[in-house]
Structure 1
């Protein structure tokens, strides 16, 4: 059996991402990558449990959530936790939902997640994959900057006998960023057809339900099923939608736990998020990570 070479694997993933604008990486491969970056069994166990500490979501009754903001600084080859800011996504950014344009405030990610070495390795992995990838420019972002914002959401979608959990209630959408990455932490009591991700051509109409889209504009699909299954999407060049979370045993609740990494260039004054785009460090729970020396000469 050939030895796992992390550099060959990372460059292969990056090349496919550049060519296809989205990529799905199975959890077994991701686990090997994260172990090579220093993650241990204890870190993986911590990731599986971290979603038990989430709070109520500000706008969705079937979701629990936390978020945190991190800077990808490609000048200093570092990742830094930056201060709390409200969060907003607008219809102009291809996000059409009842809370489009609403300023939302999420509870903050704590040290139980940000000090986890598997989580830190996911941040480094994403920084490596997205740096230097040419993307279609979004309105109002500073594409000359080498300091990027990565907003991370830890989310639990919940289905009960009275409420269906929708990982993407908004239907076909984009996330208003340059690169979206999604990583599965766990699922309980879910059906085989729960939370399938569909990838759409940008011509698909925003807000179209996951089961009503034009099949001719569907570019692919994937399903996070095992721990650490991960998808990356060039967000302004591919839209996506998801099927609901459904309970296998309908009398009990079903859950789906995810990490979502939204990464983009900083907002200019004309952008809806400009007022909430500070790069000041987080004072209460700071974090400072250096890119591994072995990756610094490889586009990071």
Structure 2
């Protein structure tokens, strides 16, 4: 068994046991690159600077930018679906749920590029080992930029500690610039704290069994209010169909 396979098996075992695993950048890169390259990473990461503002924030917040795309996993295939709305019920998102939210689509060059395809391939394999009898998955990908300024903190999870209403979730850090905090906390369904960690380096990641744990992220503050301050993540969710 290769070191990469041992890593994947160990991470999957932790998700089965606790409902989540935090992987730092080096092991996460090793996991990802079993499924392709990251040759376009510079352009992939730079695309977060082009995101449109999220106009659906019920708290009137102006601190979040995002783009969205949907994919289908079937057997060993991955295909991008037609652009569609993102929907969560208020049971899962008390702030912004209950409405169809039409975000700007992830650019084709990014959504079909090497980095995205590698990330999706890793998700298909990793989460597929946790649910081997599932034949098809509805997959949503979200580019998020959370901004902080002199007067306003940016909240990665303004709805609070929550579940997403899916089966599995990947949260992958893309960039972190001039911010403090942004600590992820994981909680059991009864509210018991299970762990916390902060995504610091690009490719730091959290992999979650959304049916078994809640998650939340503390607000980020600008270290130097004169400079741009933001937290960029890619979120990938899988729901069995």
Q: TM-score scaled by structure 1?
A: 0.74
- Using the TM superposition, give the Cα deviation of residue 222 of structure 1 relative to its aligned residue in structure 2, in angstroms: 1.3
- Using the TM superposition, give the Cα deviation of residue 119 of structure 1 relative to its aligned residue in structure 2, in angstroms: 1.8
Distance 1:26 1:145, change over 3 A: closer
Separation in 2, partners of 1:203, 1:34 = 33
- Using the TM superposition, give the Cα deviation of residue 189 of structure 1 relative to its aligned residue in structure 2, in angstroms: 0.6
Q: Which residue of 1 aligns with 2:230?
A: 255
**Other structure's SS at 1:246 match:** strand
* Structure whose alpha-carbon radius of gyration is higher: 1
Q: Which residue of 2 aligns with 1:232?
A: 207
Q: Which residue of 2 aligns with 1:55?
A: 52
**Among candidates 218, 222, 227, match of residue 243 of structure 1:** 218
- The aligned runs of 1:107-126 (5 Å cut-off) are 107-126=104-123
Runs of at least 5 residues in structure 2 that lack an aligned partner in the other structure:
none
Are residues 1:172 and 2:123 paired? no
- Using the TM superposition, give the Cα deviation of residue 263 of structure 1 relative to its aligned residue in structure 2, in angstroms: 0.8
Contact 1:64 1:156 (8 Å CA) reproduced: yes
Aligned length: 237
Q: Which residue of 2 aligns with 1:33?
A: 31
Cα root mean square deviation, aligned: 2.0
Distance 1:95 1:203, change over 3 A: farther
Separation in 1, partners of 2:14, 2:128 = 14
Distance 1:178 1:185, change over 3 A: same
Structure with greater proportional strand content: 2
- The aligned runs of 1:62-211 (5 Å cut-off) are 62-74=63-75, 77-92=76-91, 94-97=92-95, 99-133=96-130, 146-191=135-180, 194-204=181-191
- Using the TM superposition, give the Cα deviation of residue 118 of structure 1 relative to its aligned residue in structure 2, in angstroms: 2.1
Distance 1:134 1:244, change over 3 A: same
Separation in 2, partners of 1:126, 1:232 = 9
Deviation per CA, 1:46-81: give whole Å up to 9, x if none: 23212012112132321111000011112xx11110
Q: Which runs of 4+ in 1 moved over 4 A?
A: none
